[in-house]
């Protein structure tokens, strides 16, 4: 097994965060094979080296993976100094120390993954892996086709041009004065989807992540979570080109299928791929 930094190993064991682990090392509370370590940067071989903190041996926790349907009004953080509700408040029954994979804004709801598998979490969040995330966006008023086509090509934001996206236009609802659009991206910039539509002066009424790497919220109520099945973990690791072990043969993956009619799609090239959609007031 490859070597890794001592503080990373301590964090992977679920004992404390990596930053706290560094503080423990400097404070002289960490032993490796009976020798106290007080310098940062020391590497160990987890397969043969024994690590103790305050005389107690620590070992990595079993890797666990969860999917959560985040409600609005909660912060994607393991804690908040201002005492506001966090996503961890909904996962109190989970004994393993898991972390959210990426973030959803305070007023954004939907699919959020949790794990203590740092390698998978980092891979899922890295744009180079191309893992897709799909959002359902409800926008105030009518949305112009030329704006959706521009969004599919990529738009210039303050932190650079966005990568090509795929969009599905489900049309304008005159009763609520909103347009529903699905957008699929593989980046993860801060407030990216909101900023993309705000670039064209649209006001986002509601934003919900409905799919991530092929996983969906099927059967999962708002505020609820469940452990990922073995085949679902296998799928995520395959997307990230990470190795995986054996999984239960009975596990299945819920794949998203679009069931709404009259949709209009905009692909990577911005070309219209569907001709039918809901009436939009003759715009």
CATH 3.10.290.10 in the chain is located at 4-57
Domain made up of 4-57: CATH architecture: Roll (3.10)
Q: Does residue 159 contact residue 189 with C-beta atoms inside 8 Å? A: yes
Selecting among 49, 80, 89, 105, the annotated active-site residue is 105
Q: Does domain 130-215+254-283 have CATH number 3.10.129.10?
A: no
> In degrees rounded to 5, what are phi and psi of residue 153?
-80, -30
Distance CA 218, CA 238 (A): 21
Q: Does residue 101 contact residue 118 with C-beta atoms inside 8 Å? A: no
Mind giving me the DSSP string for 215-234?
Answer: EE-TT--TT-EEEPPHHHHH
Please name which of 269, 19, 240 lies closest in space to residue 166, comparing C-alpha atoms: 269
Residue-level pLDDT, tens digit, the chain, 283 residues? 588 999 989 988 878 888 899 999 999 999 999 999 999 999 999 989 999 999 999 988 889 999 999 999 999 998 888 888 899 999 999 988 899 999 999 999 999 999 998 889 989 999 889 899 999 999 999 999 999 999 999 999 999 999 999 999 999 999 999 999 999 999 888 899 999 999 999 999 999 999 999 999 999 999 999 999 999 999 999 999 988 754 433 344 444 433 445 577 777 544 343 333 333 333 3
* pTM: predicted TM-score of the whole model, two decimal places: 0.77
- Element containing residue 197 per DSSP (H, E): helix 192-198
- Given this model, what pLDDT does residue 265 score? 79
Strands 109-115 and 204-212: parallel
Q: Does residue 227 contact residue 116 with C-beta atoms inside 8 Å? A: no
- 159 a catalytic residue: no
The CATH class that applies to domain 62-125+219-253 reads alpha beta
Q: Does residue 27 contact residue 75 with C-beta atoms inside 8 Å? A: no
CATH 3.30.70.1560 in the chain is located at 130-215+254-283
CATH 3.30.70.580 in the chain is located at 62-125+219-253
Distance of CA 234 to the CA centre of its chain: 16
pLDDT tens, residue by residue, 39-55: 999 999 998 999 999 99
Q: Does residue 196 contact residue 160 with C-beta atoms inside 8 Å? A: no
List the structure tokens of 163.
């990568």
List the structure tokens of 246.
């054996």
- Given this model, what pLDDT does residue 15 score? 81
- Given this model, what pLDDT does residue 1 score? 57
Q: Which residues contact 183 (CB under 8 A, 6 or more apart)?
A: 134, 135, 137, 151, 165, 166, 167, 168, 193, 196
- Given this model, what pLDDT does residue 252 score? 40
Please name which of 212, 231, 283, 272 lies closest in space to residue 69, comparing C-alpha atoms: 212
Q: Does residue 171 contact residue 179 with C-beta atoms inside 8 Å? A: yes
């Amino acid at each position: 097994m490859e070597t890794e930094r001592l503080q990373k190993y301590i964090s992977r064991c679920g004992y404390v965060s990596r930053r706290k682990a560094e503080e423990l090392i400097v404070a002289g509370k960490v032993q490796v094979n009976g020798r106290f370590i007080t310098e940062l940067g020391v590497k160990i071989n987890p397969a043969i080296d024994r690590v103790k903190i305050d005389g107690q041996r620590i070992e990595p926790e079993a890797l666990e993976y969860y999917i959560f349907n985040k409600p609005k009004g909660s912060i994607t953080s393991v804690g908040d100094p201002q005492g506001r509700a966090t996503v961890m408040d909904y996962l109190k029954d989970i004994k393993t120390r898991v972390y959210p994979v990426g973030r959803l804004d305070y007023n954004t709801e939907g699919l959020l993954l949790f794990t203590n598998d740092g390698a998978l979490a980092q891979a899922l969040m890295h744009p180079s892996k191309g893992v897709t995330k799909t959002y359902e966006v409800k926008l105030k008023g009518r949305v112009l086709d030329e704006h959706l086509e521009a969004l599919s090509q990529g738009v210039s934001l303050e932190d650079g041009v966005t990568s090509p996206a795929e969009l599905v236009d489900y049309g304008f609802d005159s009763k609520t004065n909103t347009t529903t659009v699905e957008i699929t991206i593989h980046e993860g910039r801060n407030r990216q989807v909101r900023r993309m539509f705000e670039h064209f002066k649209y006001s986002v009424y509601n934003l919900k992540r409905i799919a991530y790497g092929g996983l969906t919220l099927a059967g999962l109520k708002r505020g609820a979570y469940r452990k990922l099945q073995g085949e679902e973990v296998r799928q995520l690791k395959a997307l990230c080109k990470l190795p995986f072990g054996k999984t239960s043969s009975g596990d299945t993956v819920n794949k998203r299928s679009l069931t709404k009619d009259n949709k209009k799609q905009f692909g990577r090239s911005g070309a219209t791929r569907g001709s039918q959609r809901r009436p939009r007031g003759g715009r």
